[in-house]
Structure 1
Amino acid sequence: MTESVANVTEIHEGLDFSGYDDADYHDNYNFGIFSVKFSTDGRELVAASSDDSIYVYDLAANKLNVRIPAHRSDVNTVCFADEAGHVLYSGSDDHLCKVWDRRCLGTTGKESGVLPGHLEGVTFIDSRGDGKHFISNGKDQTIRLWDIRKMSSNIRGITMPRHVEWDYRWMEYPSHLRNRKHPNDQSLATYRGHRVLRTLIRCYFSPSYSTGQKYIYTGSADAHIYVYDLVTGALVAKLKFHDQIVRDCSWHPFSPMLGSSSWDGVIANWELSQTKGLHCP
Structure 2
Amino acid sequence: MLVSCSSDCTARIWYEELSAPESKGHAPGSKYIAGPVLSGHASGVLDVAFGEQWIVTSSRDKTLRVWRRSDLAYVHTYYGHSASVNACCLQDGIVASGAGDGSIHIWDVATGQPRTVIRGPHCGISSIILSGSLVFTGSSDKVIRIWDADEGVLLSVFQAHDQLVRDLSYDPERKLLISGGWDGVTRLWNIAPTLSAPRTLSPEMLLPAPEFLWEKCVHHGRVFGVCFNSTRVVSSCEDRVLMVANFGNYGLPTHLYT
Q: 2:127 pairs with 124, 127, 130, which one?
A: 124
Query: 1:242 maps to what in 2?
Result: 219
Can you list the C-alpha shifts for 1:90-136, whole angstroms capped at 9, x where unaligned? 1001111111124664xxxx5222123322010111122x2x11201
CA distance in 2, matches of 1:267, 1:102: 32
Report the Cα offset of residue 71 of structure 1: 0.5
CA distance in 2, matches of 1:63, 1:195: 42
Unaligned runs of 5+ in 2: 1-9, 13-23, 195-208, 254-258
Query: 1:113 maps to what in 2?
Result: 116
Query: 2:241 maps to what in 1?
Result: 266
CA distance in 1, matches of 2:111, 2:72: 23
Query: 1:16 maps to what in 2?
Result: 38
CA distance in 1, matches of 2:69, 2:171: 29
Query: 1:202 maps to what in 2?
Result: 167
Determine whether 1:6 maps to 2:27. Answer: yes
Q: TM-score, normalised by structure 1?
A: 0.68
Report the Cα offset of residue 223 of structure 1: 1.6
The number of residue pairs the alignment matches comes to: 215
CA distance in 2, matches of 1:104, 1:12: 29
Report the Cα offset of residue 11 of structure 1: 4.2
Determine whether 1:54 maps to 2:80. Answer: no
Letter in 1 for 2:228: W
Q: Which runs of 4+ in 1 moved over 3 A?
A: 1-5, 7-11, 102-105
Question: Percent identity, aligned pairs only?
Answer: 20
Flag the structure with higher strand content. 2
Letter in 1 for 2:235: S
Unaligned runs of 5+ in 1: 19-25, 152-185
Report the Cα offset of residue 75 of structure 1: 0.6
Q: 1:70 pairs with 69, 74, 80, which one?
A: 80
CA distance in 2, matches of 1:117, 1:218: 19
Letter in 1 for 2:67: Y
Report the Cα offset of residue 70 of structure 1: 2.2
CA distance in 2, matches of 1:257, 1:10: 24
Query: 1:139 maps to what in 2?
Result: 140
CA distance in 2, matches of 1:66, 1:57: 7
Aligned to 2:82, what secondary structure does the other structure show? Answer: coil
Determine whether 1:100 maps to 2:123. Answer: no
Aligned to 1:195, what secondary structure does the other structure show? Answer: coil
**Structure 1 segment 28-43 matched on structure 2, within 5 A:** 29=42, 31-39=43-51, 41=52, 43=53
CA distance in 2, matches of 1:275, 1:264: 24
Q: 1:217 pairs with 164, 173, 178, which one?
A: 178
Superposition CA RMSD, Å: 2.6
Aligned to 1:273, what secondary structure does the other structure show? Answer: helix
Determine whether 1:191 maps to 2:158. Answer: yes
Report the Cα offset of residue 258 of structure 1: 0.9
CA distance in 2, matches of 1:146, 1:98: 12
CA distance in 1, matches of 2:238, 2:44: 21
Residues 74 and 93 of structure 1 are in contact (CA less than 8 Å); yes or no, is this contact kept in structure 2? yes
